[in-house]
Chain A
């Protein structure tokens, strides 16, 4: 299992991506339970606030397999509770994140994970 956090937007409009291989963590069970309990499918209707960050949080099986990867897009101002905990954990374990220009929209279905 792999978790990626891509933070985009902000005043600078820079994208930063942090990544953690959950299956390589000594406390894998705690990670899995944190991931399982998050409300991935909850509807998030939030008015964007100018220059705040947007977080795209993605959880992917490695190697590619069922279940389907899960993804949530959350505005910085709504990043609380378990989501905040997850993002803070991922960031703390990946001290050299990848800086990237925002990914261009992919019209097809991604199947590379």
Chain B
């Protein structure tokens, strides 16, 4: 695909990205840059676009005959990978756009492939067309910061560090991490769970759930075959641990001299009240994570077809931004009953999973 046809898809590229491409002075991207400038000239200023909504006129623009030929196609991702080159400037230099061949940089290719696998899960399992269900481009930056031990979602794109090399060896090594970050975007565009306390832990858990499902879907693993680990492959060989988190057995993912022991609770009796980590969002997420694991393995088969479906419907139709654990549990039970029937084994699996992690009481 030529650079020129690529940029046609930019009618659904967020204006900030268009803006970025338009300003590029790399001669190889001259066509892209000009096309982006044209697209910007015909698009409304992005300050007027409200988050979660398509830009005014965006849908019609996608089919306007005078627009550059190639339309964004539902079912196909539109990926843009940039390289921060060790700086903290975002998005960095655009190094691989949709349809372009692999580069010599593993991190770039891992991010590109991982975003493709994540797009595939959401499209094939839930018919969701990208983060906003409207073909939003998937933008990621690799090589962020110096020895940066982290990956995050900044509200518009994914960002991956290389790790320090001693404990962490790069955050694009794990497909569940890539899926996790993209899922933060899906949450932002749907329930928009407040990133603090229980709703924040649910935000985190939902990202782990879809991160795990991306990996299972891509590997063709059923619930029984899956590792249920998050972040497998991002630790160096020296670290005593399999991964960052275990959905199956929260609190057991690592136990290392340098890192300490995985602090996640596996049920409500271990719920951590803390002012750190936005109220322990990465800690208490172990509780709803395990509820998902218990549901998926009780139902059996491919987790994305049953438990995943229930969680996806819950996230996108059933909950509010300040939902807590108990409300989320109730919402998943409601959705399971709606999708599979009140007396179904699926609905039973959901209800018993939340009891087992102590979110609902045995009497319920």
Residues of chain A at the chain B interface (Cβ within 8 Å): 6, 8-15, 47-54, 56, 73, 77, 99-105
Contacts and interface: CB of A to CB of B under 8 A. Distances in A.
Contact of B277 (A47, A49, A99, A102): A102
6 contacts: A10-B150, A11-B177, A49-B195, A51-B150, A102-B280, A104-B273
Contacts, number: 99
Q: Pick from A56, A73, A99 the residue with the most CB of B within 10 Å.
A: A99
A101 B207 contact: no
B9 interface: no
A77 B196 CA distance: 17
B160 to A, nearest CB: 10
Closest 4 pairs (CB-CB, A-B): A13-B282, A102-B276, A8-B276, A51-B152
B263 A53 contact: no
Contacts of A14: 259-260
Contacts of A103: 274-276
A12 B150 contact: yes
Contacts of B150: 10-12, 51-53
B274 A11 contact: no
Given A11-B171, A99-B258, A51 B151 contact: yes
Contact of B152 (A11, A15, A101): A11
Contacts of B177: 11
Nearest to A16: B149
Given A11-B244, A99-B258, A104 B274 contact: yes
Interface of B: 149-155, 168, 171, 177, 180-181, 184, 195-196, 200, 203-204, 207, 231, 244, 258-261, 263-264, 272-278, 280-283
Contacts of A11: 150-152, 171, 177, 180, 231, 244, 282
Contacts of A13: 244, 263-264, 277, 280-283
Contacts of A105: 273-275
B277 A50 contact: no
A12 B282 contact: yes
B332 to A, nearest CB: 21
Nearest to A9: B277
Contacts of A101: 260-261, 263, 283
Of the candidates A47, A56, A104, the one having the most CB atoms from chain B within 10 angstroms of its own CB is A104
A73 B278 CA distance: 10
Contact of A50 (B203, B259, B263): B203
Contacts of B280: 13, 102
A9 B201 CA distance: 12
A64 B349 CA distance: 55
A46 to B, nearest CB: 11
A101 to B, nearest CB: 4
Given A14-B259, A53-B150, A102-B283, 18 more contacts: A6-B276, A9-B277, A9-B281, A12-B282, A13-B283, A48-B195, A49-B152, A49-B153, A49-B155, A52-B150, A52-B154, A100-B260, A101-B283, A102-B280, A103-B275, A104-B272, A104-B273, A105-B274
